[in-house]
Amino acid sequence: MSKKKPKTLGTALPSIIKILRHFWPHLRQQQRLIWTAFFALFAETAMRLLEPWPLKLMFDRVILPGFQVETIGIRGLEGLSPVLVLTLLAIALILIAALRGMFAYLSAVNMAVAATHVMTDIRSTLYSHIQRLSLSFHNQAKSGDLITRVTYDIERLREVTVVAALPLIANTVTLLGMVGVMIFLNWELAIIAIAILPLFLITTRHMGNKIQVVARRQRKREGAMAASAAEAIGAMQVVQALSLESMLEQTFSKQNQKSLKESAEAQRLRAGQERLVEILVAIATSLVLWRGVQLTLQGAVTPGDLLVFITYLKVAFKPMRQLAKYTGQIAKATASGERIISLMEIQPDVRDLRGALPAPAFKGAVRCENVTFAYRSNQGILRNLSFEVQPGQRVAIVGPSGSGKSTLVSLLLRLYDPIEGSVCIDDHDLREYTLASLRPQISIVLQDSILFAATVQDNIAYGNPSATDEDIIAAAKLANAHDFITQLPDGYDTMLGERGATLSGGQRQRIAIARAAVRKAAIVILDEPTTGLDNASEWEVTEALHRLTQNCTTFWISHNLHTVQDADQIFYLEQGQLWEQGTHSDLMELNGRYARLYRMQENQRPLALVS
Ligand code: ADP
């Protein structure tokens, strides 16, 4: 990771504006909540500013004039008894505090709800965006990084909006309000009070940086400690067998001691910072008092004004200290926001072209015309491939591994677009169809079929979301899966573990076949679906596959030529070229590459059976 200097709020500002602009449509949907939050925020600030005022009024208008209520100067109160006025002011004090609490609550809750809505929204958009990105993107992207963006980055953005951005705005408004009120009361005292600010900012920043450095070092050490402990505990057998216990113990305890020292250092710095702030507040207070009392004696300010000043000073330092903390957090969160935006800005390579139309129900005629394809430039994975397949024909694709068989079928699914030439279904280039209408009309069964952490029923239904229960059972029967599914603890409602870990390979394949069958597609793609299965499972799976592919245009990639020798057409691929094409007997007669491979497998067969 690059060790960039953390951004300050100033340098992060353009990013913040960019993030706000990018997410504006999402924010706009939560307008009401956000406006309510801001209204409550300003009301809360007003209450905070008002808080010392009843006290000021008590001083100036009640205590000093010796309970001369007439002097209170608030219309409507003149005729009231001093005790009543005092009581009213006391009640006002409570009311202000209560209102401030209520507004603070309202702004926090509304903002939190709005932020959660917005982030959930952005997360969904991001997730579907990632899913739509082409495989060429996913081949290069690290899945961990993508997951981080969907979960961690979004969460950080949400948290920071609520935990830092709102208080940051609240504190800034409060501080500005306080400065405004102070200037209104007496500008000279206001300047004295504000003069201490730069000193305050410099010291807290300096100390803050120091604390951060120590805290980061400590976190790192703790991470390393946890990792080495996990390593040793995970490999206890080796540790004990090699008698490494005491050596590992010593390393661990050394790390532990260092971590202790750093933790103490961080605590010491934090405590020091708090004391320093207290001293600065004391200096500011004493300066204000020193000059303030003189001004009071001159009659320029009232004792109540002085009280307001002192109270503001006391409360203003807390938001200021937090300001530094929040700006740091926000600057960091902009990095998260930018990462999300940069991902959102990637356009999928394979997407609907302008004018693409929904595909009609396919008959299943497939044609490739001079198709050339490469994952990267100057690679040449498929070279100038041409063939034609009639609806309902079964095509076997064979050839050495790495020859481009899987690549060819991924072009049929339009997971990639060819560089040159075209792939057509029912006489139309795939690019003329919308992706949403193309892919659901093709079923696939891969070598390692992925089952999701869901019920058996759902896993089959992923093939066709509109399938009824009867459809699902029929598909499972076709796939030779019904019997074993009904024997599972909860039948069709049995939850499958991640990647269907609780099932055998053959059972997983049969569920995958049911998933393909429930789609009732005209075109079926099988990519080595029986590889890695034992003989008995292979037989059951192959039988199910034959039923699945009945009357469908089928592309069956197989390394076992015996499974596919009754295919209507066999394509022999090598190094991205279609060398031979025809029925089994055609190709045997041709006596070329296919025939050689076939004979080679034939010779190995008895050996394979023995082993
Ligand atoms: P086969 O299915 O015949 O084993 P593939 O179509 O999987 O062959 O692969 C053909 C060639 O393309 C291989 O050289 C492989 O390394 C390369 N290839 C496959 N997938 C990718 C990918 N996603 N990115 C880059 N190269 C790839």
pLDDT tens digits, 226-255: 877 888 887 888 888 888 888 888 888 888
Q: Whose CA is nearest to atom 7 of ligand 1?
A: 406
What contacts 55, CB < 8 A, 6 or more positions away?
Answer: 93, 304, 307, 308, 311
Question: CB of 267 within 8 A of CB of 274?
Answer: no
Residue 13: which of 258, 290, 278, 330 has the closest Cα? 330
> What is the 3-state secondary structure of 436-482?
HHHHHHEEEECCCCCCCCCEHHHHHHCCCCCCCHHHHHHHHHHCCCH
Q: Which atom of ligand 1 is nearest to the CA of 527?
A: 2
* Contact between 19 and 337 (Cβ < 8 Å): yes
CA separation for the pair 251, 243 (Å, rounded): 14
Q: What's the token pair of residue 125?
A: 């958009």
Q: Which atom of ligand 1 is nearest to the CA of 400?
A: 3
CA distance 197 to 316: 10
**Ligand 1: which residue has its CA nearest to atom 14?**
402
pLDDT in the model for residue 1? 38
Which has the minimum average pLDDT: 208-222, 285-299, 446-460?
208-222
Q: Residue 7's pLDDT band (boundaries 50, 70, 90)? A: low
The ligand 1 atom at the shortest distance from the C-alpha of residue 401 is 4
Do residues 417 and 350 make contact, with C-beta atoms less than 8 angstroms apart?
A: yes
pLDDT, one tens digit per residue, over 91-120 is 999 999 999 999 999 998 998 899 889 888
- Name the phi and psi angles at 196, rounded to 5: -75, -15
Q: In terms of DSSP bridges, do strands 382-389 and 366-373 run parallel, antiparallel, or are they unpaired?
A: antiparallel
446 φ, ψ to 5°? Answer: -100, 175
403 CA → ligand 1 middle, Å: 8
Tokens at 15, concatenated = 């990013």
For 412, the enclosing helix (H) or strand (E) is helix 405-412
Q: What does the pLDDT average to over 254-261?
A: 87
Q: State the Cα–Cα distance between residues 568 and 554, nearest whole angstrom.
A: 10
Nearest-atom index, ligand 1, CA of 573 = 3
Atom 26 of ligand 1: nearest residue by CA position = 375
Site to probe by mutation for ligand 1, drawn from 133, 377, 378, 381 as the one with most ligand atoms within 8 Å of Cβ, is: 381
> Which atom of ligand 1 is nearest the CA belonging to 408?
6
Q: What average pLDDT does range 211-222 have in this prediction?
A: 80
First to last CA, the chain: 50
The model's pLDDT over 371-411, given as tens digits with 9 standing for 90+, comes to 999 988 777 899 999 999 999 999 999 999 889 999 999 99
pLDDT, averaged across the chain? 85
pLDDT mean over 431-437: 91
Distance from residue 373's CA to the centre of ligand 1 (Å): 11
Pocket test for ligand 1, best of 135, 372, 406 (most atoms within 8 A of CB): 406
Q: What share of the chain is helix, strand, coil (3-state, %, to 5)?
A: 65, 10, 25
DSSP secondary-structure letter at 301? S
pLDDT at 570 over 60: yes
H/E run at residue 275: helix 245-298
- Please state, in angstroms and rounded to a whole number, the distance separating the CA atoms of residues 63 and 297: 17
Buried b (16+ CB within 10 A) or exposed e, 525-553: bbbbbbbebeeebbebbbebbeebbeebb
Query: Which ligand 1 atom is at minimum distance from the Cα of 410?
Result: 6
Residue 243's alpha-carbon distances to 137, 149, 226, 236, 252, in angstroms, are: 48, 43, 21, 10, 15
Residue 234: the pLDDT is 79
The mean pLDDT of 504-529, rounded to a whole number, is 90
Q: What is the 528 CA–ligand 1 centroid distance (Å)?
A: 14
Q: How many CB atoms lie within 10 A of CB 469?
A: 10
Residue 425: pLDDT band by 50, 70, 90 thresholds?
Answer: very high
Q: Do residues 403 and 425 make contact, with C-beta atoms less than 8 angstroms apart? A: no
Neighbours of 111 (CB within 10 A): 24
Q: What is the pLDDT of residue 2?
A: 40
Å from CA of 408 to ligand 1 middle: 10
Contact 343, 123 (CB under 8 A): no
Reported as a single tens digit per residue, the pLDDT across 475-491 is: 999 999 999 999 888 88
Report the separation in Å between the CA atom of 420 and the middle of ligand 1, taken as the mean of its atom positions: 18
539 alpha carbon – ligand 1 mean position (Å)? 28
The structure's pTM equals 0.64
**From atom 16 of ligand 1, which residue's Cα is the shortest distance away?**
402
Q: Which numbered atom of ligand 1 lies nearest the CA of 404? A: 6
Q: Which of 81-95, 353-367, 446-460, 490-504 has the highest average model confidence (pLDDT)?
A: 353-367
Comparing C-alpha atoms, which of 289, 74, 337, 37 is closest to residue 162? 37
Q: In angstroms, what is the span from residue 387 Cα to ligand 1's centroid?
A: 20
CA gap 432, 410 in Å, rounded = 17
Task: Render pLDDT for 26-69 as a digit per residue (tens, 0 to 9).
Answer: 888 989 999 999 999 999 999 989 989 998 888 887 777 764 54
603 C-alpha to ligand 1 centroid (Å): 28
Cα 448 to ligand 1 centre (Å): 16
Please give the Cα distance from 514 to 505 (Å, whole number).
14
Instruction: Tell how far the Cα of 127 is from the centroid of ligand 1, in angstroms.
Output: 26
Cα of 443 vs centre of ligand 1, distance in Å, is 21
Ligand 1 binding site (Cβ under 6 Å of any ligand atom): 139, 375, 381, 401-407
